[in-house]
Structure 1
Amino acid sequence: MHDDLIHSEILRPMVALIAWTLVMLLWMLATRLPAMKAAGVDLSQLVGTRAADADRSLPASAQWKAHNYNHLMEQPTLFYAVCAVLALSHTGDGVNAWIAWAYVGLRVAHSIAQATTNRVQTRFILFLLSSLALIALTLHAAMAVF
């Protein structure tokens, strides 16, 4: 049983999305820190700011990466949980692994769209498709444990 869990295919897309989230973190920092410097923001003087403060003082294109990084802390948490259920229930291989890879691919595409052009219609379609993949994984997890 232990070996089956370690080798569950669904663990790979989970790790891939975590790695992508870290790529977005680095992209955000590489974009946002120079934008803050250019805007004259002194990090040592900031106390209790909110995201809206940065939205007002930094270029929108710099903020898009930060917004996307925040999005990767939201719905994907459900993805990680459902993938863990699928791995633990020994149903994380085959079709569920493929659906998980589709979810990751759609989230990466969503990140790239939001961080570059930020077209809402494109983002919405990618979000909707990734949500459908998440729903499918959730249904499969429910069938495995109930």
Structure 2
Amino acid sequence: MHSDILRPMVALIAWTLVMLCWMVATRLPAMRAAGLSLGTLVGSKAADADRALPAQVQWKAHNHNHLMEQPTLFYAVCTVLALSGTGDGINAWIAWAYVGLRIAHSLVQALGNRVLPRFVLFALSSLALVALTLHAALAVF
């Protein structure tokens, strides 16, 4: 079985892995510069890293966390659309819009972290997710 909506799902997974690599590539040198060692840290929390590392480094980590939150609903609803045979056409286009908006959100957060553009991108991506959810509901109920 093949559905066009699988492509944006894979694209967002790939983008999440790009953000993971970016986070590691900036965080490890910042930890070294701050005198932190993975070998000596015990049970640290995100707040500890926020206090110890520069904000610009943490923005990548925060965004990676965000890509583990709402997009999980995206993956689930896209799976429903694919399995119900309604993952092509407009639903695939909406899914691509969601992915594009999430990538833009990541770049805004990771590079400058301005709240207003981040909020606008988050709100627009949320509307795309609502549309996909409504279409999935129509398909299965």
Aligned to 1:126: 121
**Counterparts of 1:74 and 1:121 in 2: how far apart (Å)?**
20
**Counterparts of 1:83 and 1:134 in 2: how far apart (Å)?**
10
SS in 1 for 2:39: helix
Aligned to 1:54: 49
**Counterparts of 1:58 and 1:21 in 2: how far apart (Å)?**
22
SS in 2 for 1:64: helix
Specify the code of the residue in structure 2 equivalent to 1:78: L
SS in 1 for 2:36: coil
**Counterparts of 2:128 and 2:32 in 1: how far apart (Å)?**
40
Gaps of 5+ in 2: none
Over 3 Å off, 4+ runs: none
SS in 2 for 1:47: coil
> What percentage of aligned pairs have identical amino acids?
79
Aligned to 2:73: 78
Specify the code of the residue in structure 1 equivalent to 2:84: S
Aligned to 2:11: 16
Deviations 1:90-138 (A, max 9, x none): 0000000000000000000000000000000010000000000000000
Deviation at 1:54, TM superposition (A): 0.3
Deviation at 1:52, TM superposition (A): 0.3
Specify the code of the residue in structure 1 equivalent to 2:117: T
Number of paired residues? 141
Aligned to 1:33: 28
TM-score, structure 1 normalization = 0.96
Pair 1:107 & 2:102 matched: yes
